[in-house]
Amino acid sequence: MTEAYTADWYDEVMVEEGSPAMLPLEESPWLLVYEALADMIVLYEEVVDLGCGTGRFIELLRRKGYYAQITGIDWSAAALAEAARYFGGNDPEVFYLQDLAEWEPDPQRAGNTVYVCSEVLEHLEDDLALVRKIPPGHRFLFTVPNFDSQAHLRTFYGPGDVWRRYADLLAFRSWKLIGPERHAIHVCEAIRRADAW
């Protein structure tokens, strides 16, 4: 992995002054994306947010009244500290510091757990390894960009690019594009396939 994409780098850029990740939920540039993802989750479904960053999506779930267990995992200690602060800091069982390359799903999780990756897969060298860890049969909600950026290791210009990258591991249920045509985000709902490893 290039040095620019270490946990220390994310510690710095996620919480630096002026970072979009530090904006209040109402002002977040990803609010429409978060709302689209939240609309796909039922109130009683457990949620694991892989690469939760500063926790704005988890805060949106809380505000919408989700009452099942919600877990946020990220490798940036600074982002998680901000997530806990923004979430109210009163529930130590929500946010966990862990490298996604080392993360493994909890075998005790309920079968109705939904796994979410919002603005994460394009930053991982081995995004397919993470997708392979999603338990077969579980729903996987994810977003990927259709535009280039300094921190993106890959770009998905159209839905065909998304399908080609992940169709061997995922059965797609829905897709939408959010944002201006040339600077938008693919929002996908899929089921982790049981016939692919």
Domain membership flag for residue 112: yes
Domain membership flag for residue 51: yes
54 by DSSP, 3-state: which?
Answer: coil
pLDDT digits (tens, 9 = 90+) for 101-141: 999 998 887 678 999 999 888 888 899 999 999 999 999 99
Tell me how many domains the chain contains: 1
Domain membership flag for residue 83: yes
Q: Is the pLDDT of residue 6 over 70?
A: no
Q: What is the pLDDT of residue 112?
A: 85
Domain that holds residue 155: 3-192
Domain membership flag for residue 152: yes
Q: How far apart, in whole angstroms, are the C-alpha atoms of residue 29 and residue 31?
A: 6
Q: What is the pLDDT of residue 93?
A: 75
Domain membership flag for residue 84: yes
Residue ranges of alpha helices (H) inside 50-148 are 56-63, 77-87, 127-133
Q: How far apart, in whole angstroms, are the C-alpha atoms of residue 77 and residue 53?
A: 9
Residue type, 107: P
Domain membership flag for residue 177: yes
Residue type, 37: L
* CATH code of 183's domain: 3.40.50.150
Domain membership flag for residue 197: no
Map tokens 């009683």 to a residue. Answer: 44
Most confident of 35-44, 75-84, 91-100, 181-190: 35-44
Domain membership flag for residue 40: yes
**Mean pLDDT across the chain:** 87
- 3-class SS shares of the chain: helix, strand, coil, % to 5: 30, 20, 50
